[in-house]
Amino acid sequence: MNTPDTPVCPVSSFNEWDPLEEVIVGIVDGATVPPSHIALKATLPEDQHDFFRKHAGQPFPAERIAAAKRELDGLVHLLEAEGVKVRRPVPVDQLKPFGAPGWTSTGLYAAMPRDVLLVVGDDLIECPMAWRSRYHETTSYRPLLKEYFRGGARWSAGPKPELRDELYDYDWTEAHDGGPFRSVITEFEPTFDAADFMRCGRDIFAQRSNVTNDFGIEWLRRHLGPEYRIHVFEFDDPHPMHIDATLVPLAPGKLLINPERVTKVPELFKGWDVFRAPTPSIPAEHTLYMTSKWLNMNILMLDEERVVVERQDEPMIAAFKKWGFKPLLCDFRNFNSFGGSFHCATLDVRRRGGLKSYF
């Protein structure tokens, strides 16, 4: 228990629903289309391939960046009005080439802190990401990481990957007709994105995907130690990348699922209230990069009741009200175009609450 003379660690977050006190919100400044690569192709819907081939290594359209930036500012204002302290990363030049032996790349953005950093308790973990374009993405967050570390947080990093050709299956093809999932990445070295993990106190839910391999999951399991239990789930998703549009714990005993991907709820959640997300309402003509329409599930819980939801997503707003939650509405559809929503665009640095077991 903290006494008046005990310093409070600036980083402390164990789940997705304890009262939110401090959060990092990403930026889209300088967002750049990644160079063409097999690892990117495996995660893209078919109708996006042409755009990425034609514009590889170029900035995203300036008007889309500007619109998304306005919506991020709106999210910041909403969170601050709800009493949450908001921090932002610093812009870096995403067009500047970088590389390692055997490859070169340009960057992507610093829009999705949930992808690159994983908070478990007081530990800020930099993730060893599988996309070459994201190799140096944590650079934008370095000033904040240093500040949090000096304030008493732990600062860890997964093994920095080489991202050599051996990591990628260049003969990769998508599984069809209910066949087993085939990842575009091999087990050459550990890689994982933080967004392939959902925290639920002592239990953490994970999935293998086109960016997260078994090697990476095992590294995290050993790093966290026996205090935590990592459960690896498989879903009906032919090109998985990030679990937070598939299975989302909302509060103790309450689970949101993607009805298309979670056809059988894991036995671990027996006795929980299971809510099936409504069909996404994003219009067919709305431009989306690097994502499906199931971003309606990519919500941010401010506590066990308040939830940030896209203002135009009327089916999800109605569903949350029916389920007993309080939706907080925020325009975010232009930001959605860049491959994420409220959960992706934020990193909950501090929530008021301690480590518990919910099972």
- Judged against a pLDDT cut of 80, whether residue 222 lies above it is answered with yes
pLDDT band at residue 241 under the 50/70/90 scheme: very high
Specify whether the CB–CB gap between 116 and 130 falls below 8 A.
no
State phi, psi for 331 to the nearest 5 degrees.
-65, 130
* Rounded Cα–Cα distance for residues 163 and 172 (Å): 16
CA gap 129, 147 in Å, rounded: 23
Catalytic residues: 193, 242, 344
Task: Compare 102 and 49 and report the one with higher pLDDT.
Answer: 102
What is the rounded distance in angstroms from the CA atom of residue 131 to the CA atom of residue 47? Answer: 20
**pLDDT computed for residue 176 by the predictor:** 67
Report the C-alpha gap between 359 and 351 in whole angstroms.
20
pLDDT digits 0-9 by tens, 148-164 = 999 999 999 999 999 99
Q: What is the mean pLDDT of the chain?
A: 94
Residue 6 has pLDDT above 70, yes or no: no
Name residues whose C-beta falls within 8 Å of residue 34's C-beta, 6 or more positions apart in sequence.
40, 52, 56, 57, 105, 106, 108, 131, 133
CB atoms near residue 326 (< 10 Å): 13
Percent of the chain with pLDDT over 90: 87
The DSSP call for residue 187 is: S
Question: Do the Cβ atoms of 92 and 45 come closer than 8 Å?
Answer: no
96-146 tens-digit pLDDT: 999 999 999 999 999 999 999 999 999 999 999 999 999 999 999 999 999
Structure tokens at 325: 């939650």
Question: Could you read off the pLDDT of 322-337 as tens digits, one per residue?
Answer: 999 999 999 999 999 9
The pLDDT, as a whole number, for residue 326 is 98
